[in-house]
Structure 1
Amino acid sequence: MLKLHIPKNRMNYLIDRMQHQFALPMVEQGWEYHHKGRVTGLELIHGVEIHALVSDTKPCEVHLDMDQFEKSECSCPEEEYCMHMAAVIFTLYAAFARPELLLQQLRQAIRVKSRQAQTRSSAGPKTEKKTERLEPPRPEQLPSVWHRYFDQQFYGYSLSQQHSIEQFYNTAKESLGSLAAGWNEPLRSLYGLHVLLFVMRKMEQFYSETKTSYLSFYIETGCKTVAKQCMEQLNVLLPELDVPALAKSCSNALDDTLGMLGEAALNGKDSPLDWLVAYRSIWWRLSDSPQRVQRERKRLQLLLEKTSLLPRKRDALLVALAHFDVMDGNDDEARVRLEHLSKREARDYFLYLHRCYEDQQWDRMLTWLRWMLPSMQRAQQEELRTFCTYWMEAVNRQPEDTEWVDVMIALLPRTYYFYTAYLLKAHRFKAWIDLQLANRVSPLDLYTLDLKTVEEHDPSLLLPLYHQAVERSIAEKNRSAYQMAVRLLKKLQAYYKKLGQTSIWEDYIYRLSARYSRLRALQEELKKGKWIP
């Protein structure tokens, strides 16, 4: 099959024309012609025109104009855009990716467009009224009205190999974010928050709708990447939001925002986003609005009284309700409430660790860390890293580190890197060496700077580490392993010399060569090192 590579933007233009101007039967027939290899003689003319031949009952000449597609034509008798044009586009697409995936994407898009057209034609004048273009957001409107405008701007937007979640994230921020440029604070910041919430809401929708799609892994990976960006952006936006000012001057807009966040955070859906962080962060800023807080607590308690709650939703409600205990300073009551969770997730409590860090409440932080410890055994590595980082901050303010060391040992081997870094920082070099020996780590796999630090303190501590590595290399019984052993022996000899223990080294190398006298290749390597005659 002849493949002609054209620029990606030109290819995207052709795909867009297929999606909007080709009938589905023509697209499917075009796929058949491409699949059977009926497209030949592809040529690129003047950089924007494609000429090709498609075999049918008689050869059909196809001309595609990639600047003005309406000028494209085919020599067949079809009056609309035909299967021969579609076949040529599929053949061109083969230089980028698998055409069968493009076929699936086009089928979905064309069917959705067809259903929407049928709905509009059958609904009559009422629907026409409803689908009128909305005006851009205004400061006096409620945020829910802004979201209707956002939804209309991205109506029918779907993800594909050409339209990634990253592209949607950037497009939405650019096209919607500037609409409130002339607004006064704090509404402008609130609007910026809602643009981000809209992106998060749509991303959750894409994530849910494509779980059974052939692009599910591709989209799920993109959603998780963008979700992390959204949460980072949220951590920037929320502290800048003047919530007390909103409570006074834009009370309805704030209540609308809280309602939307509550709906997203408390539904218990599987999501790549941590809506509960947004929900709890904004409520934390409302400690000066006791009536609002009291109403929300009562609402959560009423929801929890329902007997038909799914475990995930019940857990979300418990975490939200416990947050108001934390806001009141009743951490113990919050933890008692959280003991009823069906599944304790470590990431739900990093919000409290961060607040303790900001307020330098080290004892309070340690209490949360101790309570979180049982859930860390099954936490993701990134969560474990965050947990250890906060505990290192807390332990630096404690008179001794016994508890921290016990925790690191209990969580080994997952805490190996945190524990080794701490031991070096605390100048516990003997414990550091013992840890490497227990994990059978070769000095060749350790950082040179770390070894140098131990060497400057006491070179004798490194001797057992090198002895163990030499024995393990010899046990592999192959030439390359013996050469590795010789490298280690040279370093070992240098340490003995530095310590003034040359006689001990000579006795060791003599006994080593005698013990492995039957390993001819090893003996040859020892001779090269000039340790035996």
Structure 2
Amino acid sequence: MLKLQIPKNRINELIGHLRDTFDPARLERGWAYYHKGQVAELELKHGVEVHALVRGTKRYEVILDLDQFGKSECSCPDGDNCKHMAAVAFALYAPFGRPELLLQHLKQAIAVRSRQQAKQTAVSKAAEKRQDRFEPPAPDQTPAQWQKFFDQQFYGFSLNQQQSIELFYSAVKEKLLPYGEGWEQPLRGLYSLHVLFFVMRKIEQFYQETKTSYLSYYIETGCRTVGRQCLEELLRLVPRLDVALLAEKASAPWKETLGLLAEAALSGKESPLSWSTVYRSVWWRMTSYPAWVAEERARLRLMLESPDLMPRRRDALLLAEAHFDVIEGDDDAARQKLEALSKREARDYFLYLHRCYEEKAWDRMLAWLRWLLPVVQRAQQEELRQFCQYWMEAVQQQTDDGEWVSVMIALLPRTYHFYTAYLMKAQRYKAWIDLQLSNRVSPLDLYSLDLQAVEKHDPSLMLPLFHQAVERCIAEKNRTAYKNAVRLLKKLHTLYKKVNRSNDWEDFIYRLAMKYSRLRALQEELRKGKWIP
């Protein structure tokens, strides 16, 4: 290969042109041409022009102008800054160093430049976004404008740790709520409602975006936790809203709010939030405005007539339509409509149970509880707990608790804690002992105060419980279990003495020692306890 050595300053200028005007792909191809020896007839003319031939699919003539690189030419059809020019440049660099190292240096420099340009572009776009920011929320703006401002304030917020949902919730309240603090009612309350709507909307977004993330479990748990907090806060806020003022003096933003709420609650999409509960709570406040209610019911009926509704959306619409029957006091009509649901969830009806509890409408509450019983059997434990608490409140108003007891028995073992607490409270000690026996609960795992209450009432009731526990400990066949058996035997001996059955005790302990005579460790523990010689 012909070598032509040009001044060092010219080479440095040439490297600068390669870095600033060539893309990495063409530099790679140019180096490949040089490396394969396809650059020939290098010649310097007029002191500033390098002429060469490069063999590709054809022979191409290349002229590099060292004074004004932009005037360089190649006879190929690729246009400016082609791979053939790069090949000639690498050939000129060869006397000064290794062209392959120059190629790596150029590629790194181009990559750095690209990152810097991308960063500058991002900064420019961010600056443009800042210029386009919405004005802070004001009472004369629409709720949609408030929501757009909220979105801008938290644009780009991402989840990067398990507590991010909680941190987001706190940040939103701290940053957004102060904007509405000086407003007059009822818009101040409406603005607070929309801040909570925004949090719920973002929770849904985080939930959907991170479903396939390795943190999905923690994020879903956080979403549900914060979702419950938002729901509780909303249910406290809604009764304080001055609906009369909203409907009369701020009807436009209030109607827009109802529309936004309906859009979220009636979509039927999967969500960690109970939008339906918020929707029904708000419309329960609108009973004094029959025209508004009639318009909403007509809209629901029209949507339900659509033939291509997905099951989840149809369920959401049915739940909303039945709610207006509940508002009118016609629970039977509501439940008849709800029978058409493809899937019933117990949590959707706690709103009605709580309303009945507040109004002390016990018969109405019992009707809902009976209707919910098949659903509660497959409900989550937290939902079952709420169901049992409401039924315990209702049963206290009844002359007979037989129905409630049968329900608790039907739902065992999930209702064990509720049922055992009720039996103790009702002083049904025999039934309480039977429950512990059927669940194979050891006296060592029961509250001492409960055991004392049963013993005070009738010590003989305790005998089967301790006998069962002793046998179960021995069946474990280990030293620790044998020691627990001896502890239980000590208490059992006391119980036998209290009921004046010492002879029965002696017979029992003798038979026990004989039955398990082959268990050496148990025999040792019995001797330590001085039960056998």
Shorter-normalised TM range: 0.7 to 0.9
Separation of aligned partners in 2, 1:81 and 1:509: 87
Do 1:433 and 1:461's aligned partners in 2 also have CA atoms closer than 8 Å? yes
For 2:173, the equivalent position in structure 1 comes to 173
Q: CA deviation at 1:213?
A: 2.7
Q: CA deviation at 1:443?
A: 0.8
Which sits farther off after the overlay, 297-306 or 522-531?
522-531
For 1:374, the equivalent position in structure 2 comes to 374
For 2:464, the equivalent position in structure 1 comes to 464
For 1:270, the equivalent position in structure 2 comes to 270
Separation of aligned partners in 2, 1:131 and 1:464: 80
State the secondary structure of the residue aligned to 1:261.
helix
For 2:205, the equivalent position in structure 1 comes to 205
Do 1:244 and 1:285's aligned partners in 2 also have CA atoms closer than 8 Å? no
For 1:532, the equivalent position in structure 2 comes to 532
Q: CA deviation at 1:342?
A: 0.2
2:516 is the alignment partner of 1:523: no
Q: Which has the larger radius of gyration?
A: 2
Letter in 1 for 2:230: C
Structure 1 pair 117/210, CA: closer, same or farther in 2 (3 Å)?
farther
For 2:305, the equivalent position in structure 1 comes to 305
Q: CA deviation at 1:517?
A: 2.2
Separation of aligned partners in 1, 2:194 and 2:111: 44
Q: CA deviation at 1:116?
A: 7.2
State the secondary structure of the residue aligned to 1:213.
coil
For 1:495, the equivalent position in structure 2 comes to 495
For 2:322, the equivalent position in structure 1 comes to 322
Aligned length: 428
Q: CA deviation at 1:132?
A: 1.4
For 1:349, the equivalent position in structure 2 comes to 349
2:457 is the alignment partner of 1:451: no
For 1:64, the equivalent position in structure 2 comes to none
So what's the TM-score if we normalise by structure 2? Answer: 0.76
Q: Deviations over 1:358-410 (max 9, x none)?
A: 00000000000000000011100000000000000000000010000000011
Do 2:162 and 2:218's aligned partners in 1 also have CA atoms closer than 8 Å? no
Letter in 2 for 1:182: G
For 2:193, the equivalent position in structure 1 comes to 193
So what's the TM-score if we normalise by structure 1? Answer: 0.76
Q: Deviations over 1:33-65 (max 9, x none)?
A: xxxxxxxxxxxxxxxxxxxxxxxx9xxxxxxxx
Structure 1 pair 335/263, CA: closer, same or farther in 2 (3 Å)?
same
Superposition pairs of residues 119-518 of structure 1, within 5 angstroms = 132-161=132-161, 164-518=164-518
Q: Tell me, which stretches of 5 or more residues in structure 1 are unaligned? A: 1-56, 58-76, 84-109, 122-126
Structure 1 pair 430/152, CA: closer, same or farther in 2 (3 Å)?
same
Letter in 1 for 2:222: G
Q: CA deviation at 1:263?
A: 0.3
Structure 1 pair 209/150, CA: closer, same or farther in 2 (3 Å)?
same
Which sits farther off after the overlay, 316-325 or 498-507?
498-507
Separation of aligned partners in 2, 1:215 and 1:478: 42
Q: Tell me, which stretches of 5 or more residues in structure 2 are unaligned? A: 1-100, 102-107
Separation of aligned partners in 2, 1:197 and 1:174: 15
Q: Deviations over 1:471-528 (max 9, x none)?
A: 1111222222221110110011111222332222122112221222222222221111
Separation of aligned partners in 1, 2:268 and 2:167: 27
Q: CA deviation at 1:350?
A: 0.2
Q: Deviations over 1:55-80 (max 9, x none)?
A: xx9xxxxxxxxxxxxxxxxxxx9699
Instruction: Give every structure 1 segment of 4 or more consecutive aligned residues whose post-TM-superposition deviation is greater than 3 Å.
Output: 77-83, 113-118, 127-131
Q: CA deviation at 1:134?
A: 1.1
State the secondary structure of the residue aligned to 1:185.
coil
Separation of aligned partners in 2, 1:167 and 1:80: 37
Letter in 2 for 1:343: K
For 2:94, the equivalent position in structure 1 comes to none
Separation of aligned partners in 1, 2:480 and 2:121: 68
Q: Deviations over 1:327-362 (max 9, x none)?
A: 011100000000000001000000000000000000
Do 1:482 and 1:521's aligned partners in 2 also have CA atoms closer than 8 Å? yes
State the secondary structure of the residue aligned to 1:378.
coil
Letter in 1 for 2:251: S
Q: Deviations over 1:75-130 (max 9, x none)?
A: xx9699899xxxxxxxxxxxxxxxxxxxxxxxxxx99x999789x69xxxxx9699
Separation of aligned partners in 2, 1:245 and 1:115: 49
Separation of aligned partners in 1, 2:373 and 2:383: 12
Do 2:287 and 2:327's aligned partners in 1 also have CA atoms closer than 8 Å? yes
State the secondary structure of the residue aligned to 2:138.
coil
Letter in 1 for 2:474: I
State the secondary structure of the residue aligned to 2:212.
coil
